[in-house]
Amino acid sequence: MMYADAHKAASHVSGERLWNRLMRLAEIGATAKGGVNRQAMTPEDSQARALMADWARGLGFSVQQDGIGNLFMRRDGRDISRLPIVTGSHLDSQPTGGCFDGVLGVVMALEALEAIQEAGIRTHHPLEIVAWMNEEGSRYGPVCMGSSVYVGRMGLAEACASVASDGAVLGDELPAALAAVAPAEERDFGAPMAAYLESHIEQGPVLEEQGVQLGIVSAIQGIRWFRCEVTGAEAHAGTTPRRMRRDAGQAAMRMIAAMEEAFTDEGDAIRFTVGQFHVDPGSPNVVPGRAAFSIDLRHPDAALLDTLSEQVHAICQEHRGPCQVTVEQVGGVAPVDLAPWMTGVLDDCAAELDVTRMTMPSGAVHDASNMAALCPTAMLFIPSREGISHNEAEWSEPDACRDGARLLAASLVRIDERLSQ
Amino acid sequence: MMYADAHKAASHVSGERLWNRLMRLAEIGATAKGGVNRQAMTPEDSQARALMADWARGLGFSVQQDGIGNLFMRRDGRDISRLPIVTGSHLDSQPTGGCFDGVLGVVMALEALEAIQEAGIRTHHPLEIVAWMNEEGSRYGPVCMGSSVYVGRMGLAEACASVASDGAVLGDELPAALAAVAPAEERDFGAPMAAYLESHIEQGPVLEEQGVQLGIVSAIQGIRWFRCEVTGAEAHAGTTPRRMRRDAGQAAMRMIAAMEEAFTDEGDAIRFTVGQFHVDPGSPNVVPGRAAFSIDLRHPDAALLDTLSEQVHAICQEHRGPCQVTVEQVGGVAPVDLAPWMTGVLDDCAAELDVTRMTMPSGAVHDASNMAALCPTAMLFIPSREGISHNEAEWSEPDACRDGARLLAASLVRIDERLSQ
């Protein structure tokens, strides 16, 4: 009997209804190559938010909006005093984005709540769908702006001062974005939640590789960004023997090779990427006198990330040879632990629904990274074809979207039950 | 008695006279940082050539010039039917060049001939000083233009069509350059020579490192230029595990590391340089989908250079991992063997004069590379401080310049004797 309502909720999920809504939203900002350009604060973004609010109103849900344009759609619970259980993601896209990144999580949330409603389930807690403002940060930085302002990590004034590359100022465009979903009740920043559960495409290739239907996210990887600069001496490629060279390029490559080897872990959880590499002066017949490269280092474990960061410094010094090297950490994001009891609920519900799944860290940052500071938080991943994302070719299978919505509906019911015991 | 005249010639070399001429020429096109800007075909280049011709005329030498502006200054020998023994280098410089590259070889040639003259030695062959036109190729490509036209590797019309980056055409500037040294007899292209002996700064650090006074060049290294392009797949730095990456940057670095190891020879004669390295798209959080790098590979032995070139192809394929690689040879220069009997004369004379020396290949290309196709050819290197060249900080010690002129004067006398036996 424990999973009766969860099963019932899942059984009312309609893959077709979900997919139709997804394709309807894909028309807003559609690009010629089959993707979308629906950047935050644009008319297309407002149109998508307004459509979502209309759908929610059509189901009898109340609509709230906060001062930065985060949009909340509430189905009331039995107990007016309980905090909402919130699920959703974002509607904005990259300039050449796909039809799934963000929007799928919002559409799945709507489908789950509609299924719960059709199943006649009255939850103890209110259930809310959220569409966070400006997750992508492509037009107005930074990423995850809406959730950052909501949890107080960024001030509203600071967000309003953000300038786009075309010179537009966010604060000037915000009133129109807010008006687009009117009438909406006002939502306070930081209004507490009982739990947050975000569905999102994986944006990576692992679920497809492993042949499982869904991913349950255990943690969001922390990131450390480094900038390494190697100084040697320019020399003539013909007249300078190896023993007398101070080749900054070769020294940099030795460092990178040593790190690549040191960071090869059995579980393949460490992400080590050198995405930028420059040698100077960059002439075929001059031994490089300077080299510079970037390091993007990720792992879900904060302590291990500290250890790996120390190794970055040590390995670069160890392999500099006759050159000098400076290693500077230029940024970072702390790992985020998700609520084990919530991932447990997701896993239990998946077992009940006969959905194959795996537990995995998230390699990308999400609004859930912010929400974990506010309330128990979990994430659910839907497979991405070939791991392609931030690309118009992004794709997830309709069946996978439906399976995700089924698991989401069931898990929301179980989370409500767990929180109400 | 064998080296009597050689000793006599060397004893008349004046280091002071040589240095004064060198410093006088350094005034022509002098830069604020102590170097010179005396690019080919400029008024400064013409001024230097005219001054050199005047000095030669002052010693009673006859002046000849060919159609591209190669300048020959002749001291007649006893036998009018014999071919000239020619020594010299070039007067033009890089835009931010030093006071020694090229010009030292011409000034040493003048000093050697003046010393031979003061010693009262009448050689069998005529002795000629040459100043080749446009060795640097910095304003009008290619390098070694004057000697290339002289030996017929390049046509005069092709040289005249060369266009500078400022739009100037060589053929338009040539008449003024030719007029600058008038009156001069006309010299035919390809007019044969008995031998060619070029003095030049080393442009590398080896002589200074080894603590020897002069270098005797055994061969001029051949060069192979390659362009390698590696194709993998762009991927998200956070969501893509190592096992699923096709990282073009890492593949390229593996190839380079393997070549660096394979090309480490005990004698340190192989020159392997990666001067250009690009990864694409060049974003810190994107696994590079493409990488491209240059290879500059040099060795004085043609057969070994062939073997090394095959290894370049093989090693790149071997280490491509999950990526694709294309390796294209984009250019090359064959190694040039210098005349062993001439390097033998240089070595014998150095021993007679108590000059410490070592035998070494030339890592850079010189006009001697062209002349070796025309007649027996040798080269003499003067140490460069810290190996610095093509740079305003270029420097050679006055004593080293004097030692070089002494060896040159002695060797010219011995070469004349050897060719007259």
Query: What's residue B421's pLDDT?
Result: 85
Question: In what helix (H) or strand (E) does residue A61 lie, and over which residues does it extend?
Answer: none
Residues B138 and B355 sit within 8 Å (Cβ to Cβ): no
Based on its alpha-carbon atoms, the radius of gyration of chain A, rounded to whole angstroms, reads 24
**Residues A268, A3: Cα–Cα separation, whole Å:** 35
Fold entry, domain A4-220+335-420: Aminopeptidase (3.40.630)
CA-based nearest distance A283→chain B, Å? 5
- Give the residue from B266, B285, B308 with the most A CB atoms within 10 Å of its CB, the best one to mutate: B285
Question: Mind giving me the DSSP string for A345-397?
Answer: HHHHHHHHTT--EEEEEESS--HHHHHTTTS-EEEEEE--GGG--SSTT----
Q: Which residues in chain B have Cβ-Cβ distances shorter than 8 Å to A247? A: 273
Query: What's residue A421's pLDDT?
Result: 85
CA-based nearest distance B374→chain A, Å? 24
Question: B361 in contact with A at a CB cutoff of 8 Å?
Answer: no
Query: What's residue A1's pLDDT?
Result: 58
Determine the residue of chain A that is closest to B365 in CA distance.
Answer: A238
Among B119, B112, B116, B204, which residue's Cα sits nearest to residue B407?
B112
Give every CB contact of residue B254 below 8 A, 6+ residues apart in sequence. A257, B319, B321
CA-based nearest distance A76→chain B, Å? 36
Query: What's residue A165's pLDDT?
Result: 83
Dihedral of CA B364/B366/B370/B373: which sign?
Answer: negative
Q: Tell me how many residue pairs between chain A and chain B have CB atoms under 8 A apart.
A: 185
**Residues A181, A303: Cα–Cα separation, whole Å:** 44
| Domain residue spans of chain A | 4-220+335-420, 222-333
Q: Which residues in chain B have Cβ-Cβ distances shorter than 8 Å to A223? A: 238
The better pLDDT of the pair B295, A391 is held by: B295
Q: Are A203 and B236 an interchain contact pair (Cβ–Cβ within 8 Å)?
A: yes
Mean pLDDT over residues B8-14, rounded? 98
Give every CB contact of residue A401 below 8 A, 6+ residues apart in sequence. A15, A18, A19, A22, A104, A107, A108, A382
Q: Least CB-CB distance to A236: which of B277, B279, B363?
A: B363
Say what the ipTM of the complex is.
Answer: 0.89
Fold entry, domain B223-333: Alpha-Beta Plaits (3.30.70)
Q: Which residues in chain A have Cβ-Cβ distances shorter than 8 Å to B232? A: none
Query: What's residue A401's pLDDT?
Result: 98
* Burial tier of B346 (Cβ tally within 10 Å: 0-12, 13-18, 19+): buried
Q: Which residues in chain A have Cβ-Cβ distances shorter than 8 Å to B363? A: 236-240
Residues B94 and B192 sit within 8 Å (Cβ to Cβ): no
**Residues A284, B94: Cα–Cα separation, whole Å:** 18
CA-based nearest distance B271→chain A, Å? 6
Encoded amino acid at A352, one letter: E
Q: Which residues in chain A have Cβ-Cβ distances shorter than 8 Å to B289? A: none
Percentage with pLDDT > 70 across chain B: 100
Q: Are A284 and B294 an interchain contact pair (Cβ–Cβ within 8 Å)?
A: yes
Q: Are A244 and B205 an interchain contact pair (Cβ–Cβ within 8 Å)?
A: yes
Q: Angle, to 10 degrees, between the axis of helix A43-58 and the axis of helix A103-118?
A: 10
Q: Least CB-CB distance to B277: which of A272, A277, A298?
A: A277
Q: Are A242 and B279 an interchain contact pair (Cβ–Cβ within 8 Å)?
A: no
Question: A274 in contact with B at a CB cutoff of 8 Å?
Answer: yes
- Asked if pLDDT for residue B359 goes beyond 90, the answer is yes
The upper half-sphere exposure of residue A251, i.e. CA atoms within 13 Å in the direction of its Cβ, equals 29
Question: B210 in contact with A at a CB cutoff of 8 Å?
Answer: no
Q: Which residues in chain A have Cβ-Cβ distances shorter than 8 Å to B279? A: 274-277
Residues B224 and B330 sit within 8 Å (Cβ to Cβ): no
**Residues A127, A59: Cα–Cα separation, whole Å:** 13
Place of tokens 């920043």: A189
Q: Helical H runs in B170-232? A: 170-179, 206-210
Give every CB contact of residue B144 below 8 A, 6+ residues apart in sequence. B132, B135, B137, B365, B366, B367, B369, B370
Query: What's residue B165's pLDDT?
Result: 83
Mean pLDDT over the full length of chain B: 96
Contacts 24+ apart (CB under 8 A), B324-328: B324/B230, B324/B231, B324/B232, B325/B228, B325/B229, B325/B230, B325/B231, B325/B251, B325/B255, B326/B228, B326/B229, B327/B226, B327/B227, B327/B228, B328/B226, B328/B227, B328/B228, B328/B229
- Alpha carbon of B306 to those of A33, A189, A257, B294, B366: distances in Å? 48, 71, 28, 18, 22
**Residues B198, B196: Cα–Cα separation, whole Å:** 7
Confirm whether residue A124 is marked as ligand binding: no
The number of helix segments (H) and strand segments (E) in chain B equals 13, 17
- Give the residue from A203, A210, A228, A236 with the most B CB atoms within 10 Å of its CB, the best one to mutate: A236
Confirm whether residue A397 is marked as ligand binding: no
Q: Which CATH number fits domain A222-333: 2.130.10.10, 3.30.70.360, 3.90.660.20, 3.40.50.620?
A: 3.30.70.360
CA-based nearest distance B268→chain A, Å? 6
Interface subset of B 232-261, CB within 8 angstroms of A: 235-244, 247, 249-250, 253-254, 256-257, 260
Residue B276 — φ and ψ, nearest 5°?
-125, 140
| pLDDT band (50, 70, 90) for residue B77 | very high
- Give the residue from A201, A273, A388, A396 with the most B CB atoms within 10 Å of its CB, the best one to mutate: A273
Q: Are A288 and B270 an interchain contact pair (Cβ–Cβ within 8 Å)?
A: no
CA-based nearest distance A362→chain B, Å? 7
Determine the residue of chain B that is closest to A253 in CA distance.
Answer: B253
Q: Are A271 and B221 an interchain contact pair (Cβ–Cβ within 8 Å)?
A: no
Residues B326 and B192 sit within 8 Å (Cβ to Cβ): no
Q: Are A275 and B268 an interchain contact pair (Cβ–Cβ within 8 Å)?
A: no
Which range in B164-168, B401-405, B417-421 is most confidently predicted, on average pLDDT? B401-405
| pLDDT band (50, 70, 90) for residue B51 | very high
Question: B20 in contact with A at a CB cutoff of 8 Å?
Answer: no
Q: Which residues in chain B have Cβ-Cβ distances shorter than 8 Å to A275? A: 237, 249, 279, 281-288
Question: A294 in contact with B at a CB cutoff of 8 Å?
Answer: yes
Q: Are A238 and B260 an interchain contact pair (Cβ–Cβ within 8 Å)?
A: no
Residue A272 — φ and ψ, nearest 5°?
-125, 115
- Asked if pLDDT for residue B1 goes beyond 70, the answer is no
CA-based nearest distance A28→chain B, Å? 26
Q: Least CB-CB distance to B204: which of A239, A276, A283?
A: A239
pLDDT along chain A (421 residues), means of 10: 91 98 98 96 98 98 98 96 97 95 98 98 98 94 95 97 93 97 96 98 96 97 97 94 96 97 96 96 93 97 97 98 97 94 98 97 95 97 94 96 98 97 85
Residues B94 and A236 sit within 8 Å (Cβ to Cβ): no
- Give the residue from A207, A227, A239 with the most B CB atoms within 10 Å of its CB, the best one to mutate: A239
Determine the residue of chain A that is closest to B225 in CA distance.
Answer: A284
Query: What's residue B291's pLDDT?
Result: 98
Q: Are B271 and A389 an interchain contact pair (Cβ–Cβ within 8 Å)?
A: no
Confirm whether residue A172 is marked as ligand binding: no
Give every CB contact of residue B232 below 8 A, 6+ residues apart in sequence. B245, B246, B247, B248, B251, B287, B288, B289, B290, B291, B322, B323, B324
Q: Are A285 and B271 an interchain contact pair (Cβ–Cβ within 8 Å)?
A: no
Interface subset of A 307-346, CB within 8 angstroms of B: none
Question: A226 in contact with B at a CB cutoff of 8 Å?
Answer: no
Question: In what helix (H) or strand (E) does residue A223 lie, and over which residues does it extend?
Answer: strand A222-231
